[in-house]
Amino acid sequence: MRFSSRSKLLATALVLLFALPFGLLVLLAVAPAWRFPAALPPTYSLGALRDLLAADSELLAGLGRSLLLASVVAVVATASGFWLARAVSRAARPARWEALSYLPYALPPVLLAVLIQPFIIRLHLSGSVGGVLLGLLLIAVPFATLLLRSFWTPQAREYEQLARTLGCTPQQALGRVLLPLAGPLLRTALFQTFLLSWFDFGLTNLLSVGKVRTLTVQVFTYVGEANAPLAAVASLLLLLPPALLLWANKNALLRKTE
Amino acid sequence: MLSKRLPTRLLLGLYALLVAGLPLAGLGYALLGSLGIVGPLATGFTARHWQVLGTDAGLLKAALFSLWIAGVSLALAVGLALALVLGAQATLRRRPFPTLLYVPLLMPSLVLGFYLFQLLSRAGWLSRLSFGLRLTRGVEGFPELVQDAAGAGIILAHVLLLFPFLTLLFQAIYQESRLPDYAQLAQTLGASLGQFRWRVALPVLLRRAAPTVLLSFIATLGAYDIPLLLGRPYPQMLSVYIATRLQRFDLRELPAAYLAGFLVAVGLLALILVLTRLTRRHAL
């Protein structure tokens, strides 16, 4: 009985701790004028949400921009990571290439952006989507490579060679053997690299010099303007794709933990 | 043979150029920039910006403040995660915990900063509840929890970010290391549950988690989004300090920003080398 009640107490505490942010953000999104000392909004309005659906909505544009950027980063990083991981496994000194892959994580993203910014400028990519993309790939590609490195075991290579021996072309071996085997890891790599890009603010903010207004940049802008409703709406939009991705991968996650 | 190796070498070469070449070239450029050799207003070699370090304590304060934030945040998060894993092991295996602990991972640090500001500021939600319950008399009666001198808001934010992740990590290690079996064995041999936790479980969990905990420490040390929203203009955390100097409109500040970036990068790389060796030595 005591154990059960403690378990319920812990569950309740964590649920409240994790649910409160979402609740407060929702209230902020529909509260046009909510000031001290009101504990609940005096009035409710869908104005901020209505603005979201306007034809010229900057928020929708930011959402689209962020989705496009994160999707491109995820696909390019995962595809590159798959082949790079294979190349690393075949290299003379795999351990050194793995150590090299950790270099971008030795430095904060903002500091990385500071260091590479002169070259972004010289490549005429400053303030462009291309510059932000290059910066994000600098973080995402090593991540995918390290993650997919665990797939390229001697066993995987034996499967590939077996398929080739039995008459498969390289394309068939890839499409029918390797990709299905690597499926779960590829999905995880897509998921994680998408989130890396989706959540980024510091690197994007620095390299875009205010011109590539992703959703995170817009959250910061609205916070700076003390526009809490729009900041809350942008924040909730920011939470939507990760929530969908988590839900879509729920079974995979639960299987791992169980 | 040649046709097979060529794409591999080309691929790895491009990879090295992106991952190591670009940041290290940036590091070199920052060094040259701090010496006045390159940059928009470069006028030739000068040690002036390095000499200013002796009198301008801003960078040192930022480094110390960042170490304080990262150290306290990580200590609290690790402690909380270990308490959950070792103290509520059976509970963690039951619903809804396997799913529940993933929920905070959805929260971007920028959104968390915004939320905590709305929650904990002097005019925030907790302050209003406190006023409604007559615990405080007004805005000035509520303690300063965000944008405070000690960085309490920043620390709380990072603890909230880190402890669910670390709990999941420790829980995975707990299962993979077969610690439940060791618990049974230890108790069969006469050890108490407390002895098992301190002498068996804790060392195993910390040693196996050490690399990830190290990365978490470095990530917190270089945090930008949260201290930008919940921190004061002074002292700043390292990333905020560097970014602020770089984004000033005065181009004459660029060499100082390059110097700060160079020193922080070298300092972090050195710190990682030291900590990595320590964890390896301890693991052996």
Identify whether the C-beta of residue A104 lies closer than 8 Å to the C-beta of residue A138. Answer: yes
Predicted confidence at residue B1, as pLDDT, reads: 43
A 54-93 near B (Cβ less than 8 A) = 83-84, 87-88, 90-91
A37 upstream amide cis, omega within 30 of 0: yes
Question: Which residues of A fall within a CB distance of 8 Å from B229?
Answer: 220, 223
Confidence of residue A77 (pLDDT cuts 50, 70, 90): very high
Predicted confidence at residue B4, as pLDDT, reads: 53
Residue A172: C-alpha distances to residues A120, A161, A176, A181, A186 (Å): 39, 12, 6, 13, 18
Spatial CB neighbours of B118, under 8 Å, sequence gap ≥ 6: A24, A28, A228, B124, B125
Identify whether the C-beta of residue A173 lies closer than 8 Å to the C-beta of residue A164. Answer: yes
Predicted confidence at residue B154, as pLDDT, reads: 94
Spatial CB neighbours of A29, under 8 Å, sequence gap ≥ 6: A48, A49, A229, A232, A233, A236
Question: Which residues of B fall within a CB distance of 8 Å from A219?
Answer: 110-111, 114
- Taking the C-alpha atoms of residue B205 and residue B183, their distance in angstroms, rounded to an integer, is 14
Confidence of residue A251 (pLDDT cuts 50, 70, 90): low
Predicted confidence at residue A140, as pLDDT, reads: 93
Question: Which residues of B fall within a CB distance of 8 Å from A88?
Answer: 12
Q: Which of B37-46, B63-72, B81-90, B147-156 shows the highest mean pLDDT?
A: B63-72
B37 CA: distance to closest CA in chain A (Å): 14
- Taking the C-alpha atoms of residue B162 and residue B181, their distance in angstroms, rounded to an integer, is 28
If you average pLDDT over residues A177-199, what whole number do you get? 88
Residue of A nearest to B102 (CA): A246
Taking CB atoms and an 8 Å limit, are B103 and A36 in contact across chains? Answer: no
- Taking the C-alpha atoms of residue B14 and residue A80, their distance in angstroms, rounded to an integer, is 11
Confidence of residue A93 (pLDDT cuts 50, 70, 90): confident
Question: Which residues of B fall within a CB distance of 8 Å from A21?
Answer: 107, 111-112, 115
Residue A48 pLDDT > 50: yes
Taking CB atoms and an 8 Å limit, are A238 and B114 in contact across chains? Answer: no
Tokens of A151: 């797939």
A136 membership: H or E segment, kind and range: helix A129-149
Weakest mean pLDDT among A116-120, B9-13, B48-52, B168-172: B48-52
Predicted confidence at residue B284, as pLDDT, reads: 41
- Taking the C-alpha atoms of residue A62 and residue A128, their distance in angstroms, rounded to an integer, is 14
B269 near A CB under 8 A: yes
Identify whether the C-beta of residue B33 lies closer than 8 Å to the C-beta of residue B39. Answer: yes
- Taking the C-alpha atoms of residue B167 and residue A81, their distance in angstroms, rounded to an integer, is 28
Residue of B nearest to A86 (CA): B8
Radius of gyration, alpha carbons of chain B: 24
A247 near B CB under 8 A: no
Residue B3 pLDDT > 70: no
In a 13 Å sphere around the CA of A10, the CA atoms on its Cβ side amount to 23
What is the distance between the terminal CA atoms of chain A, rounded to a whole angstrom? 25
A47 CA: distance to closest CA in chain B (Å): 20
Question: Which residues of B fall within a CB distance of 8 Å from A138?
Answer: 18-19, 22-23
Identify whether the C-beta of residue B136 lies closer than 8 Å to the C-beta of residue A51. Answer: no
Residue of B nearest to A142 (CA): B19
- Taking the C-alpha atoms of residue A136 and residue A134, their distance in angstroms, rounded to an integer, is 6
Q: Which tens digit of pLDDT belongs to each residue from B205-216?
A: 998 888 889 889
Residue B171 pLDDT > 70: yes
B98 near A CB under 8 A: yes
Residue A254 pLDDT > 60: no
- Taking the C-alpha atoms of residue A250 and residue A240, their distance in angstroms, rounded to an integer, is 15
Q: How many CB atoms lie within 10 A of CB A20?
A: 13
3-state secondary structure chain B: CHHHHHHHHHHHHHHHHHHHHHHHHHHHHHHHHHCCCCCCCCCCCCCHHHHHCCCCCHHHHHHHHHHHHHHHHHHHHHHHHHHHHHHCHHHHHCCCHHHHCCHHHHCCHHHHHHHHHHHHCCCCHHHHHHHHCCCCCCHHHCCCCCCCCCCHHHHHHHHHHHHHHHHHHHHHHHHHCCHHHHHHHHHHCCCCHHHHHHHHHHHHHHHHHHHHHHHHHHHHHCCCHHHHHHCCCCCCCHHHHHHHHHCCCCHHHHHHHHHHHHHHHHHHHHHHHHHHHHHHHHHC
Count interface pairs A-B at CB distance under 8 A. 209
Identify whether the C-beta of residue A140 lies closer than 8 Å to the C-beta of residue A77. Answer: yes
B284 near A CB under 8 A: no
| Residue in B8, B9, B160, B173 with CA at minimum distance from that of residue B77 | B160
Interface test mutation site (partner A, options B97, B224, B241, B251, max chain A beta carbons within 10 A): B224
- Taking the C-alpha atoms of residue B171 and residue B162, their distance in angstroms, rounded to an integer, is 14
Predicted confidence at residue B112, as pLDDT, reads: 93
Identify whether the C-beta of residue A201 lies closer than 8 Å to the C-beta of residue B110. Answer: yes
* DSSP code, position A92: S
Taking CB atoms and an 8 Å limit, are B257 and A36 in contact across chains? Answer: no
Q: Which of A21, A84, A138 sits opposite B115 (nearest CB)?
A: A21
Taking CB atoms and an 8 Å limit, are A114 and B94 in contact across chains? Answer: no
The helix/strand/coil state of A7 is: helix
Residue of A nearest to B261 (CA): A111
If you average pLDDT over residues A189-207, what whole number do you get? 90
Residue A168 pLDDT > 90: no
Question: Which residues of B fall within a CB distance of 8 Å from A240?
Answer: none
Q: Which of A111, A141, A145 sits opposite B264 (nearest CB)?
A: A111
Using CA atoms of B278, B279, B282, B283 in order, give the dihedral in degrees to the nearest 10.
Answer: -150
If you average pLDDT over residues B92-98, what whole number do you get? 79
B238 CA: distance to closest CA in chain A (Å): 9
* Spacing of C-alpha B196 from chain mean position: 30
Taking CB atoms and an 8 Å limit, are A84 and B12 in contact across chains? Answer: yes
Taking CB atoms and an 8 Å limit, are A141 and B19 in contact across chains? Answer: yes
Spatial CB neighbours of B224, under 8 Å, sequence gap ≥ 6: A108, A109, A110, A201, A202, B237, B239, B240, B243
Predicted confidence at residue A57, as pLDDT, reads: 79
A33 membership: H or E segment, kind and range: none
ipTM, 2 dp: 0.84
- Taking the C-alpha atoms of residue B250 and residue B91, their distance in angstroms, rounded to an integer, is 57
B96 upstream amide cis, omega within 30 of 0: yes
